[in-house]
């Protein structure tokens, strides 16, 4: 029996290669993140997740970015989820209806992913839409942190009902600058006090509600620290752990992104993120970099990180055929496919 290591890897295709099977047995590996390149059909991805989970005990974590809107990796034969901005727009008119729809949407997203063996989605986005960030934009629920927290709380409750924990992102807030951290290192000039009364509020509320995991932003806040948030002990250990009393897991954003470049080579990035307070680092799209990271990490594993990560294993397991016979799923897809078509009705979600 092996512990969960601190590295989450991306895969190349639709099935595990012999090289990938060997890599996933490396003691420093703890999870796999799937992308559109790994998806062809529910049956195919179910076979892939079964193969990954069969490799080790405890099972490797399997994650995916499945927010809805622009960011939904599995599309064919999955419900097309609206961008969560739509829920914020509904909230402006009818908060109770928006909360119910957020809960239904979170449940539907999680139920469909659990049916094919995915443990969790990196969702919901807790960033605020300040109207300047194209990479965030309609991925954010709203510009008001209280509304974001309100809807994210409902969304998370739906996810939990389906057996999935939530991962909030991108701490402490990626919505205040135009730059895209996939392409460059964004620099947010605001002070901590300015962030504390705006972007940080949504994260603080969700931490209070018991959020299981967070992902920090590859964003530099020079008035707070000279390192980007995901590599900053000031942000992760002092502010997030001690001040905000966050007890859940911390995942780095993808170390292959340009916004991570300030931290050095791939192994240096991984070591810096783990030293700053991350429990698991993501190496998604560069196999050579991933191999170098695994070779460059020491053998010691943090038992506290183990407890945080184990909590993220999905609970229960259905299959898509059984799910599609479920009247709750049938009602949920109609509501999510057309938020405006149905009156406010209580559902057992």
DSSP for 245-258, written as a single string? ---SEEEEEETTSG
Omega before residue 58 within 30° of 0, cis: yes
Residue linked to tokens 């993140």: 33
**pLDDT, position 276:** 96
**pLDDT, position 319:** 82
Which of 60-64, 109-113, 328-332 has the weakest average pLDDT? 328-332
- Select which of 50, 92, 94, 182 is catalytic: 182
Report residue 345's pLDDT band, with 50, 70 and 90 as the boundaries. low
* Stretch (H or E) spanning 283: strand 280-283
Which of 12-16, 170-174, 175-179, 191-195 has the weakest average pLDDT? 175-179
Q: Is the separation of the CB atoms in 250 and 214 below 8 Å?
A: yes
**pLDDT, position 183:** 72
Domains in the chain and their CATH numbers? 7-337 (3.20.20.300)
Write the pLDDT tens digit of every residue in 278-305.
999 999 999 999 999 999 997 777 889 9
Known catalytic residue at 53: no
Query: Once rounded to an integer, what is the mean pLDDT over residues 181-202?
Result: 90
Known catalytic residue at 225: no
First to last CA, the chain: 36
Radius of gyration of the chain (CA): 19
- Beta bridge pairs of residue 171: 216
- Beta bridge pairs of residue 120: 63
Task: Give 102's Cβ-side CA count (13 Å radius).
Answer: 31
**Which of the two residues, 320 and 45, has the higher pLDDT score?**
45
**pLDDT, position 184:** 77
**pLDDT, position 62:** 98
CA distances for 176 relative to 130, 131, 262, 322, 326, angstroms: 6, 8, 20, 43, 41
Contacts of 88 by beta carbon, 8 Å cutoff, 6+ apart: 98, 129, 140, 141, 142, 147, 148, 151
- Select which of 225, 253, 254, 279 is catalytic: 253
Percent of the chain residues past pLDDT 70, beyond the cut: 95
Q: Please determine, for residue 336, whether its predicted confidence score (pLDDT) is greater than 90.
A: yes
Report residue 1's pLDDT band, with 50, 70 and 90 as the boundaries. low
Name which of 173, 245, 241, 230 is nearest 202 in CA terms: 173
**pLDDT, position 256:** 77
What are the backbone dihedrals phi and psi of residue 153, each rounded to the nearest 5 degrees, phi first?
A: -65, -45
pTM reported for the whole predicted model = 0.95
**Which of the two residues, 316 and 318, has the higher pLDDT score?**
316
**pLDDT, position 346:** 60
Percent of the chain residues past pLDDT 90, beyond the cut: 79
């Amino acid at each position: 029996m092996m512990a969960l290591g601190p590295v989450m890897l991306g895969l190349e295709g639709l099935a595990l290669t012999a090289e990938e099977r060997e890599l996933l047995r490396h003691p420093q590996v703890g999870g796999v993140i799937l992308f559109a390149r790994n998806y062809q059909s529910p049956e195919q991805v179910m076979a892939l997740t079964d193969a990954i989970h069969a490799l080790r005990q405890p099972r490797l974590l399997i994650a995916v970015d499945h927010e809805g809107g622009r960011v939904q990796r599995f599309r064919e034969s999955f419900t097309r989820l609206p961008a969560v901005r739509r829920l914020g727009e509904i909230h402006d008119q009818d908060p109770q209806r928006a909360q119910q729809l957020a809960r239904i949407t979170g449940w539907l997203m999680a139920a469909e992913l659990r049916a094919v063996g995915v443990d969790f989605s990196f969702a919901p986005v807790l960033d605020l839409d300040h109207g300047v960030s194209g990479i965030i934009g309609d991925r954010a629920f709203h510009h008001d942190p209280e509304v974001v927290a309100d809807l994210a709380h409902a969304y998370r409750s739906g996810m939990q009902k389906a057996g999935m924990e939530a991962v909030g992102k991108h701490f402490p807030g990626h919505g205040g600058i135009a730059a895209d951290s996939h392409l460059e290192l964004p620099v947010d000039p605001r002070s901590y006090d300015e962030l504390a009364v705006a972007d940080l509020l949504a994260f603080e509320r969700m931490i209070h509600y018991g959020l299981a995991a967070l992902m920090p932003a590859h964003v530099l806040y020079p008035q707070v620290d000279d390192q980007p948030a995901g590599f900053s002990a000031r942000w992760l250990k002092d502010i997030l752990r001690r001040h905000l009393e966050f007890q859940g897991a911390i995942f780095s954003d993808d170390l292959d992104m340009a916004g991570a470049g300030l931290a050095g080579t791939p192994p240096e990035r991984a070591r810096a993120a783990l030293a700053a307070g991350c429990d698991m680092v993501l190496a998604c799209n560069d196999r050579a970099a991933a191999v170098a990271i695994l070779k460059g990490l020491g053998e010691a594993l943090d038992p506290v990180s183990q407890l945080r990560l184990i909590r993220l294993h999905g609970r229960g397991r259905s299959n898509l055929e059984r799910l599609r016979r479920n009247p709750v799923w049938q009602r949920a897809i109609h509501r999510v496919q057309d938020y405006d078509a149905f009156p406010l009705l209580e559902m057992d979600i």
